[in-house]
Structure 1
Amino acid sequence: MGLALPAKSHSLWSTIQQQAVAVAAAEPVLAAWMREAILNHGELAGALAQLIAVAVGGNSDERAVNRRLAERCYRDDPSLIETATLDLMAPLERDPACPGALHVLLHFKGYIALQAYRISHRLWESGRTEMARELHGRITQALHVSIHPSVMIGSGLFIDHGTGVTIGEGVVIGNDGSMLQEVTIGRSPEGEAGAPRIGRGVLLSAGAIVLGNVEIGDFAKVGAGSLVLASVPSGYTAVGVPARLVSRAPDPRAALNMDQSLP
């Protein structure tokens, strides 16, 4: 996938622009927004910088500052756009109800919150911790998705719906994960050292809580409303409060499909 990504990224951006043109023609009242959000930009980086600035909010000067901040991060670290492309492709590949790439970009607040987090994480890693915290605080207030800037998240994460998602300091999440609304991942409330480590292709269903120095193995699944306080081996499904192991997928890679039912 890595070698083909630039071509895929270009193709995806062309598709988004075509969809925006179609929306502007079908709904003239939305034409100005399509131009501001999509059509005035030559590439995904410009559109994302604009959308993040709009999401963070504030007056026109504050939005301009945040837009320039994002633009500079994308210019200095092109891998952020490669990752943003993989994040954008994730719901297209895993959510059969997804209407298309333009819809993800404009209406999946979990996606925009994730890209804002990636900007805050870059700031955090470069030593600009106060700016990272400020961006984190504003996006949390605006979109009700809280991802601490210190968190490490791989590419291809799909945050569906997004409201109430909280990911605390020190959490590590692998590639190709999926989570729904009200998911909480964080340290133990008893003060135990260490934060959760979430493997590749893990599915965390709505309201799932993962706390403490635990590991969720690759392609594992956690059922809706479950409370995970102990590690879950790769490929297993865990449900309940506290969560217990109930099954193991014959082919753990099948867990990448969000359409699979959970107990």
Structure 2
Amino acid sequence: MPVSASKAASADLAKHDPVWAAIREEAQRAAAQEPLLASLAHSTVLQHERLEDALSYILAQKLGSDALPALGLREIMEEAFEADPDIGLSVRADLVAVNDRDPACRGFLKPLLFFKGFQSIQVHRVAHWLWHQNRETMAFLLQSRASEAFAVDIHPATRFGRGIMIDHGTGVVIGETAVVDDDVSMLQNVTLGGTGKETGDRHPKIRRGVLIGAGAKVLGNIEIGEYAKIGASSVVLIPVPPHCTAAGVPARLLGDCGCEQPAREMDHALPNAPG
């Protein structure tokens, strides 16, 4: 392709899919800076035309097993992406969320390749699609492999919005009837669980913009209102109103959040806490 045509194609890609264009540029830079990464950059990113193609390849390589060959897994993921374009939009929103909120993140390539919190959410999105296609056994198989590979256990029926960040990921458990709305951030070892042997709608509803600190347990069919904050290691058994902070064991309401959008600002300070 002539240089002028190549530049025009790059500009068109950046205009219509800026996240994918940025990922490709980051992959090219990484390959140039570290020759040992050239093969990785090509196989995971540069040989693919779309972000969805790259993501299906990356996840299939991580989750493939004797019971679930990588090639077949990739075909399932591509089927989901084609059938539900909203998944691709959510993937991009999640990448933007990680890049904006995680101070350890510099760009989009690293979370795509290496951040298991991000990767586990995308596996869940495919499993959730399978769940609603009445392919529950395959959905559970994906959940199981994701749990083994990423140490993140999300029931396929859980409903996720867009712009979700699970930082680190290790030890996160989210139950069947939980709902996680747009722009939520949570850290490692968070549980959104039930309180025992209840049946039916029994898991938390996490509304837009909530920040959940590391090790927090939110239990039962309770609502955590929009832009609320849950302190690290808290056990939350009561509803939390919008824009409020809850912390402690058991958690109690401590006042407002001290910021407008805690999930975006990632400010874990508690009201009246020293320092």
TM (normalized to structure 2)? 0.89
Deviation at 1:259, TM superposition (A): 3.8
Separation in 1, partners of 2:16, 2:222:
35
5+ residue gaps in structure 2?
A: 1-12
Distance 1:30 1:251, change over 3 A: closer
Query: Which letter does structure 2 place at the counterpart of 1:249?
Result: C
Distance 1:180 1:14, change over 3 A: same
CA contact 1:229–1:243 (8 Å) conserved in 2 = yes
The equivalent residue for 2:213 is: 205
1:175 equivalent in alignment to 2:182: yes
Deviation at 1:57, TM superposition (A): 2.8
Question: What is the CA deviation profile of residues 144-174 of structure 1, one whole-angstrom value per residue up to 9, with x for unaligned ones?
Answer: 0111000001001000000000001110111
Aligned residue among 223, 230, 236 for 1:228: 236
Aligned residue among 222, 228, 247 for 1:239: 247
- Greater displacement, 87-96 / 135-144: 87-96
Query: Which letter does structure 2 place at the counterpart of 1:19?
Result: E
The equivalent residue for 2:50 is: 43
Query: Which letter does structure 2 place at the counterpart of 1:223?
Result: G
- Greater displacement, 10-19 / 89-98: 89-98
Deviation at 1:138, TM superposition (A): 0.7
CA contact 1:165–1:181 (8 Å) conserved in 2 = yes
Separation in 2, partners of 1:252, 1:123:
36
Question: What is the CA deviation profile of residues 163-212 of structure 1, one whole-angstrom value per residue up to 9, with x for unaligned ones?
Answer: 00000111011100000000000111252752211110111110000001
| 3-state secondary structure, aligned to 1:146 | strand
1:214 equivalent in alignment to 2:222: yes
Separation in 2, partners of 1:9, 1:254:
30
The equivalent residue for 2:71 is: 64
Question: What is the CA deviation profile of residues 35-66 of structure 1, one whole-angstrom value per residue up to 9, with x for unaligned ones?
Answer: 11111111100011011101213259800000
Deviation at 1:107, TM superposition (A): 1.4
Distance 1:133 1:9, change over 3 A: farther
Aligned residue among 122, 135, 145 for 1:128: 135
Indicate the structure (1 or 2) with the bigger Cα radius of gyration: 2
Deviation at 1:97, TM superposition (A): 2.9
Separation in 2, partners of 1:162, 1:122:
21
1:26 equivalent in alignment to 2:33: yes
**C-alpha root-mean-square deviation of aligned residues, in Å?**
1.9
Aligned residues, how many?
Answer: 258
Separation in 1, partners of 2:237, 2:67:
45
Query: Which letter does structure 1 place at the counterpart of 2:91?
Result: A
TM (normalized to structure 1)? 0.93
| 3-state secondary structure, aligned to 2:261 | helix
The equivalent residue for 1:3 is: none
CA contact 1:94–1:259 (8 Å) conserved in 2 = no
The equivalent residue for 2:96 is: 89
Separation in 2, partners of 1:207, 1:9:
39
The equivalent residue for 1:189 is: 196
1:78 equivalent in alignment to 2:89: no
Query: Which letter does structure 2 place at the counterpart of 1:12?
Result: V
Separation in 2, partners of 1:127, 1:230:
34
CA contact 1:223–1:237 (8 Å) conserved in 2 = yes
